[in-house]
Amino acid sequence: MIKKIIVVITLFVSIVGFSQKNNTSAYSFFGIGDKNNSSTVEQLSMGGIGVSLNESYHLNFLNPAANASLRFTTYTMAIENLNNKAKDSNGEQSASATYLSYLALGFPIGEKGGMTIGLLPNSSVGYSLVSNEYDAANNITEATQYIGEGGTNKVFVSIGYKPFKNFSVGLQGNYIFGKIENSILNQVKDASLATKYQTVSNIKGLTLNGGFQYKAKINSKTDFLFGGNFDFNNEIEATGTEHLYSVSLGTFESPRDTILSTESTGFLKSPLKTTLGIGLGRENKWYAGVDYSFQNALELEGGVFNNYSKIDYDKYSKIALGGFYTPKFNSITSYWDRVTYRAGVKFENTGLLVDASGNNTDFTAIDDFGISFGVGLPMSKQLSNLNIGFEIGKRGQTAKGLVQENYVNFRLGLSLNDKWFKKLEIF
């Protein structure tokens, strides 16, 4: 009963939590923002792997086919704390944000199926940057401020089914929605008014992904696991307005003459994304695996996306390695033997190309490298657990006028497991 009460409470909390700032990166300026990790704390603590992994009491956001292995009703939620130190050739700046990162409920359907419904951030925008121009005497002659906030969320429903022994398939439908605001405020020395350019975009779209998993015995103590997930071609629409006007800066920003006010529509087109994973392991004991993802370049078309002259997109790829180890998950003599220890590493080519000069002649790939680790702490005598994860990494570089981000992320997840749907027994 307590678990059911917690579910109801957090459903209300999530309404507030998903509207909070959840990004601190300058690279979130582009497109519809940074693409969020669609993974649980457990998966992110292993470098983000999990396409081939299926467990009876943990949800898997990376592959809907894993739903077929659920044997308990599982409710999960998590919060994430981002700490980012960005630096370029002129200096460095630190920022942080804390937000509710996902909320989901999964449950078995019969002996061969399972379903998960949930809500999580899909992309996020959160930056505040200032660029100054100086004269020969090192006095500021012009200042430009860049501010962005908002992002998109994803509501999803996924179903998995096991048509044959050791083989399962799954399908997931996603509804993407959100709002993004970007603004550029320019102030020239001795000018009485500043100029502000602002875009407000409403994002929406439907996406679909499907997957499979296969599990076979190598020997009595070791399993071989293979899985794949496919994010099918999709198109996200951005409709909104563009405004250009003069403002008087004081205690409050006071708009004056409107120079431009127009409506616009843009599209973010994503081609097929494929993720394949293999692993070896023993159920409830250990697992070691590797996932590889690849995708052709994204496309931005029309409307508010026409202003991104400093970026382009190339092919995306990511390789992640990781795993977990549990000394003895059902130990009754030692609590620490029931703790799950996780670790992993990722190498990611984000596909984003940035030309800091704006001349369309020197685009540089933005890569991401991260090391992660974490623990799963059992709660009471049941399968519920508290999952703690850390990630340390680096994205981008300081060369060619770009920004290098060194980040430390902390994640805290709660996974509650129970059998909510029990057959009535008559004695």
- Please tell me the predicted confidence (pLDDT) of residue 427: 43
Question: Residue 2: its pLDDT value, please?
Answer: 42
Question: Which pTM value belongs to this model?
Answer: 0.87
The CATH number linked to 95 is 2.40.160.60
Query: Which tokens go with 369?
Result: 């490298």
Q: Is 302 within a domain?
A: yes
* Cα–Cα distance for residue pair 391/408, rounded to 1 Å: 6
Residue 43 lies in a domain: yes
User: What pLDDT is attached to residue 22?
Assistant: 59
Expressed as residue numbers, the domain containing 337 is 2-418
Residue 13 is predicted with a pLDDT of 44
Query: Is-contact 174 207, C-beta < 8 A?
Result: yes
- The answer to whether position 354 is within a domain reads yes
Residue 424, in any domain of the structure = no
pLDDT at 306 (0 to 100): 62
The verdict on residue 374 lying in a domain is yes
Those residues of the chain that have pLDDT short of 70 are: 1-24, 250-256, 303-309, 357-359, 381-382, 419-427
Asked if the structure places residue 426 within a domain, the reply is no
How many distinct structural domains can be found in the chain?
Answer: 1
For residue 74, tell me if it sits in a domain. Answer: yes
d(CA 383, CA 6): 17
Q: Is residue 62 part of a domain?
A: yes
What pLDDT, on the 0 to 100 scale, is given for residue 1?
42
Element (H, E) at 41: helix 41-44
Alpha carbon distance 231, 138 (integer Å): 51
**Closest by Cα among 274, 65, 56, 68 to 170:** 65
